[in-house]
Structure formats: structure tokens, C-alpha cells
């Protein structure tokens, strides 16, 4: 049987593994399978990424070049822009972007394009796994028809799964290898092959009964996070109105040994996942006539946080007899979370634009980001001297490389949106 032949190739690690989309998700996955002994080939549209990958020069923070380079040198891992290599693949993981359109509808164009390429070079005995975060039903409704078009039958001639990617860039404890991998297939045989495949390279695999369950798992996880962040952001706004320190409240509540999990307020949501994925779910449920009201509400509150931070800056300057207009405001940290270089959807970008609209002269520093693109052009990072000359410094991202003690000494006024100055008491600090 075709499934037995594929299972044997996977067990013996002679299966040729392909990864489409060599970004934050695809590159670490490709590395894990190459390290496990498979021949891995990554496909990406970006010639620059392919060139760097083939030179053993990693562009992904969680994959050191010292790990990538030996795999490239030994021939276990390579990258290409040429999709015809799919002809030789036994397995292929799709790790392409799934952004939102301006209308907050899912943008499926990347998944469509990747599947079209797979369909062109499709052959019996392949295992196809979609990893891109998407709405429940995508694998069966979008991917499967494209693959079955040529006459091959799922569960019999080829195998199809969805497996959500849970990677958390910059997390030193949990990375692709030791994050449990959920996988659900179109048929029981698909699920079993998916389970077998991942268990060759990753520590724990969690099979589920269908692709839809696997798709929904990811959306539950990210929606849970988005809504809880929305809750604490609203609590921060309430605490502000009542003169209560929200950070102290959360820390004390977190001493409860059961039934509570701390989430923290901040300047707004950022990144490729939390601000986006829940809207994939709300878009889909709307089609079934169900309003995703928690998601809409949390989205609204989280979207208000950059405005809340900018109002804090304005009030803090006013308290020092200064207007925002004409003041120098220095932003510390522009990536969407600490110790990474990713600025996608970062609230820092909104905060900068809002401050500029109010007439502030804005600069930024970030040990991981040299420049950012704004609506009207590019802005380059400034060095530490900008702190001394600023009328107000705003901590937007609490990178561990910042010298917070020196900051408190040097800055005239600090708005801390992350509680990075926890434990430090000084008259120039205004907390969220
Ligand atoms: N970054 C994260 O922390 C994270 C975590 C969990 C899930 N995800 C999900 O994983 C998916 C990928 O995210 P990412 O962060 O790795 O994105 P990314 O932008 O870092 O990488 C995607 C890569 O795909 C390439 N690409 C786009 N279209 C292609 C095509 N048709 N063929 C070949 N390559 C193509 C791009 O050039 C890019 O290198 C998304 O659905 C995302 O929501 C991301």
C-alpha cells in the first residue's frame, strides 16, 4: 500500500522533506528535520533568503548560523526558489504567511499560490501538511480540492494534514523541537502518517481527529491570549481611573495557586499572530451567522492601547508644563515584543504616528531594529544620547539589553508601558 511505503520512508528517514516558506516558522522546522537526519529542501520566493540559507547564514533569530551552516555543508539542508523540486518530495510542509486584508478578511493568496505549485508537481505517495494559521475548514475546503483536481484521492493516493505552528520567537525555553505538535488529518491514515512524520524530529506529537479540530486548536490558543490581554488592558484603563497600580493587582492575584493565570497590559498587540488570527475565526463564524463578540470587543480594547499610551505621554508632559507639540519624545523598543527583531503589527509604529500627528518630534532606539518603515518614509534608530535630550522617553518594548537604571538617572520623564521599571521608585516614572 502507498501509505505503508511512505511510512517506511519516514521511519528510515529516507523520505525527502520539503518546506514551502522559509520564514520564522519554516526555517526552524526545516532545521529540526535536517538535524533528525532527513534530506530537507526549503522553497521560498525570496532569492535573498534562499541565498543566505544556502550560505549557512541564518536570518532567523532562533536559528543560530552555527546550527544552520553545518547542516548546509553536509548537504542535509538546502533552499531554492525553483518549485520543480517538489517532484522529488515525499513530504511538504506549507509555512507561508496568512495576513489579513485591509477589510480584516483572510488573505488566502499565499496558501493558494503554494498549493498551485504543489498541484503542478504533485505525485502519488505524498504527505502534505498545512502549518499556516488559518480558519477552520481551510484544509478541506481550499487545499484538498486543489490537490484532488488531478485525480489522486486523499487517504489513498496522497495524505493531507493540518498542524498548527506554535513557535514563540525569542523564547529560550520552548522552541520547535520541544513544543508539543498537534496534528489532524483528512482521514485516519493521514493523521497517522502526520503523527509518524513529526515524531521523527519533535519531542511530543498530539494527534487529533480531524484537520478542522487542529485548525481550531490554534485559534482557541491565540483567541484565549488575545481576549485575556484585552481584559487586563481594560483593567489597566479602569485602574488608571481609580488611581490603582494594575501591575501590583496582577502580581498579587497571581499568587492564587489555582484558577488564575496572569496576563499583562501593554501598549497594544503586535506580531503576526495574536492581532490577526482571531479575526480568521470571526470571519468564518460570521458566515455561519454567529457573531464572535468576545473577539470584536477585545480587538477594540487592544486597538485603543496605543491611544491610551499617547494620552499618558501628553498628560505626563502637561504635568511638567510642556505640550506634546514641539516636544522631543524618544521611543525605547519598536519590535512587537522583547528581545526579537520583528516589527510586524508592532504598536510602536502606531504610537510613533500618533505622537507625530500631535506635533511631537519622535526618535527611537532598539538593539534589534536599525530602521523602521512608516507611512511617510524610513526612520533610523538613534543612540543613547537621545534619552538625555528627550522631553519624554516611552518604554514600548522591554528589551533586556536596555540599561534601565541608567535610563531612570538620565531621562527627564519616562512613560513605562511594560512595567520594565518594576521595583524602581523615582519621580520621573509614569507607569501604565
Ligand atoms: N512567526 C510566528 O511566531 C508564528 C507562530 C505561529 C504560527 N505562525 C504562522 O505561520 C505562518 C508563517 O508565518 P511566518 O512568521 O513564518 O512568516 P514569514 O513571513 O516569516 O515567512 C513566510 C515565508 O514564506 C515565503 N513565501 C510567501 N509566499 C510563498 C510561496 N508562494 N512560495 C514559497 N514561499 C513563499 C516568504 O517569502 C517568507 O519567507 C503564518 O500563517 C503565521 O500566522 C507564525
**Where residue 43 falls among pLDDT bands split at 50, 70, 90?**
very high
Share of the chain above pLDDT 70, in %: 100
Q: Is the pLDDT of residue 363 over 90?
A: yes
Average pLDDT over residues 261-287: 93
100 phi and psi angles, rounded to 5 deg: -105, 150
**Where residue 162 falls among pLDDT bands split at 50, 70, 90?**
very high
Average pLDDT over residues 4-22: 98
Whether the CB of 132 sits within 6 Å of ligand 1: yes
Q: How far is residue 126's CA from residue 116's CA, in Å, rounded to a whole number?
A: 15
**Where residue 173 falls among pLDDT bands split at 50, 70, 90?**
very high
Whether the CB of 49 sits within 6 Å of ligand 1: yes
Q: Is the pLDDT of residue 205 over 80?
A: yes
Residues 6 or more apart whose Cβ sits within 8 Å of residue 182: 163, 164, 206, 207, 208, 214, 217, 218
Nearest to 79 by CA among 103, 38, 127, 45: 45
Mutate to test the pocket of ligand 1, among 20, 21, 335 (most ligand atoms within 8 A of CB): 21
**Where residue 414 falls among pLDDT bands split at 50, 70, 90?**
very high
Q: Is the pLDDT of residue 102 over 90?
A: no
Query: How far is CA 67 from each of CA 35, 46, 62, 256, 332, rounded to the nearest angstrom?
Result: 9, 21, 10, 41, 31
Work out the end-to-end distance of the chain between its first and last CA atoms, rounded to an integer number of angstroms: 62
Query: How far is CA 129 from each of CA 55, 81, 383, rounded to the nearest angstrom?
Result: 27, 20, 45
Average pLDDT over residues 39-48: 98
Q: How far is residue 118's CA from residue 32's CA, in Å, rounded to a whole number?
A: 22
Per-residue pLDDT reduced to its tens digit, 314-331: 999 999 989 999 999 999
Q: What is the 3-state secondary structure (H, E, C) of 34-88?
A: HHCCCEEEEECCCHHHHHHHHCCCCCCCCCCHHHHHHHHHCCCEEEECCHHHHHH
Neighbours of 202 (CB within 10 A): 19
Q: How far is residue 126's CA from residue 90's CA, in Å, rounded to a whole number?
A: 5
Q: Tell me, what's the pLDDT at 383?
A: 80
Mutate to test the pocket of ligand 1, among 20, 97, 281 (most ligand atoms within 8 A of CB): 97
Neighbours of 4 (CB within 10 A): 9
Burial level of 382, CB count in 10 A (0-12/13-18/19+)? middle
- Cell 539542508 sits at which residue? 77
Q: How far is CA 275 from the centre of its chain?
A: 9
Q: How far is residue 378's CA from residue 184's CA, in Å, rounded to a whole number?
A: 43
Q: How far is CA 374 from the centre of its chain?
A: 20
- Find out whether 138 and 146 touch, Cβ atoms under 8 Å: no
Q: How far is CA 53 from the centre of its chain?
A: 21
Average pLDDT over residues 263-271: 95
93 bridge partner residues: 19, 129
The dihedral through the CA atoms of 121, 122, 124, 128 has a sign that is positive
Axis-axis angle for helices 277-287, 211-242 (nearest 10): 110
Q: Is the pLDDT of residue 247 over 80?
A: yes
- Kindly report the protein residue whose alpha carbon is nearest to atom 36 of ligand 1: 21
Q: Is the pLDDT of residue 306 over 90?
A: yes
Average pLDDT over residues 147-171: 95
- Find out whether 174 and 207 touch, Cβ atoms under 8 Å: no
For residue 96, give the ligand 1 atom closest to its CA. 24
Whether the CB of 22 sits within 6 Å of ligand 1: yes
Q: How far is residue 84's CA from residue 118's CA, in Å, rounded to a whole number?
A: 9
Whether the CB of 181 sits within 6 Å of ligand 1: no
Q: Tell me, what's the pLDDT at 376?
A: 84
Cell triple for 158: 496522497
364 bridge partner residues: 331
Nearest to 36 by CA among 64, 69, 10, 66: 10
Q: Is the pLDDT of residue 133 over 90?
A: yes
Average pLDDT over residues 182-189: 98
pTM > 0.85: yes
**Where residue 197 falls among pLDDT bands split at 50, 70, 90?**
very high
Q: Is the pLDDT of residue 395 over 80?
A: yes
Cell triple for 93: 510542509
Average pLDDT over residues 95-100: 94
Longest Cα–Cα distance of the chain, Å, equals 79
Tell me the pLDDT of the chain averaged across its residues. 96
Decide if 273 is catalytic: yes
Average pLDDT over residues 253-262: 97
**Where residue 272 falls among pLDDT bands split at 50, 70, 90?**
confident
Among 32-46, 91-105, 307-321, which is the least confidently predicted range? Answer: 91-105
Share of the chain above pLDDT 90, in %: 93
Q: Tell me, what's the pLDDT at 375?
A: 84
Amino acid at each position: 500500500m502507498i501509505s505503508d511505503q511512505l511510512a517506511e520512508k519516514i521511519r528510515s528517514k529516507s523520505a525527502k522533506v520539503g518546506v514551502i516558506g522559509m520564514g520564522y516558522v519554516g526555517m526552524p522546522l526545516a532545521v529540526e528535520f535536517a538535524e533528525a537526519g532527513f534530506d530537507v529542501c526549503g522553497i521560498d520566493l525570496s532569492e535573498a533568503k534562499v541565498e543566505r540559507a544556502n550560505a549557512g547564514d541564518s536570518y532567523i533569530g532562533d536559528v543560530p548560523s552555527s546550527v544552520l551552516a553545518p547542516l548546509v555543508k553536509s548537504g542535509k539542508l538546502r533552499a531554492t526558489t525553483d518549485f520543480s523540486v517538489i517532484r522529488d518530495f515525499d513530504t511538504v510542509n506549507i509555512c507561508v504567511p496568512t495576513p489579513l486584508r485591509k477589510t480584516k478578511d483572510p488573505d488566502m493568496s499565499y496558501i493558494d499560490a503554494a498549493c498551485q505549485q504543489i498541484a503542478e508537481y504533485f505525485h502519488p505517495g505524498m504527505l502534505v501538511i498545512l502549518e499556516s494559521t488559518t480558519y477552520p475548514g481551510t484544509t478541506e475546503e481550499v487545499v484538498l480540492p486543489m490537490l484532488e483536481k488531478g485525480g489522486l484521492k486523499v487517504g489513498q493516493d496522497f495524505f493531507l494534514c493540518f498542524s498548527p505552528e506554535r513557535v514563540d520567537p525569542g523564547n529560550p525555553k520552548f522552541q520547535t523541537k520541544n513544543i508539543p505538535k498537534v496534528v489532524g488529518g483528512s482521514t485516519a491514515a493521514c493523521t497517522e502518517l502526520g503523527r509518524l512524520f513529526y515524531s521523527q524530529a519533535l519531542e511530543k506529537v498530539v494527534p487529533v481527529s480531524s484537520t478542522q479540530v487542529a485548525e481550531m486548536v490554534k485559534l482557541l490558543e491565540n483567541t484565549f491570549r488575545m481576549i485575556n490581554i484585552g481584559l487586563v488592558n481594560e483593567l489597566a484603563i479602569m485602574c488608571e481611573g481609580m488611581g490603582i497600580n494594575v501591575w501590583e493587582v496582577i502580581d498579587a492575584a497571581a499568587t492564587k495557586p489555582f484558577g488564575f493565570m496572569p496576563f499583562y497590559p501593554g501598549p497594544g498587540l503586535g506580531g503576526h499572530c495574536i492581532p490577526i488570527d482571531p479575526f480568521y475565526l470571526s470571519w468564518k463564524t460570521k458566515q455561519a451567522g454567529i457573531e464572535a463578540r468576545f473577539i470584536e470587543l477585545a480587538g477594540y480594547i487592544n486597538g485603543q492601547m496605543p491611544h491610551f499610551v499617547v494620552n499618558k505621554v501628553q498628560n505626563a508632559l502637561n504635568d511638567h508644563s510642556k505640550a506634546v507639540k514641539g516636544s522631543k519624545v524618544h521611543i525605547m523598543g519598536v519590535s512587537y515584543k522583547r528581545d526579537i527583531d520583528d516589527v510586524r503589527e508592532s504598536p510602536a509604529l502606531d504610537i510613533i504616528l500618533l505622537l507625530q500627528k500631535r506635533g511631537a518630534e519622535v526618535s527611537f532606539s532598539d538593539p534589534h531594529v536599525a530602521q523602521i518603515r512608516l507611512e511617510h518614509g524610513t526612520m533610523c534608530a538613534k543612540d543613547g544620547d537621545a534619552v538625555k535630550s528627550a522631553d519624554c522617553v516611552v518604554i514600548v518594548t522591554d528589551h533586556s539589553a536596555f540599561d534601565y537604571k541608567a535610563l531612570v538617572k538620565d531621562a527627564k520623564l519616562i512613560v513605562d508601558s511594560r512595567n520594565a521599571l518594576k521595583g524602581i521608585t523615582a519621580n520621573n516614572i509614569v507607569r501604565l
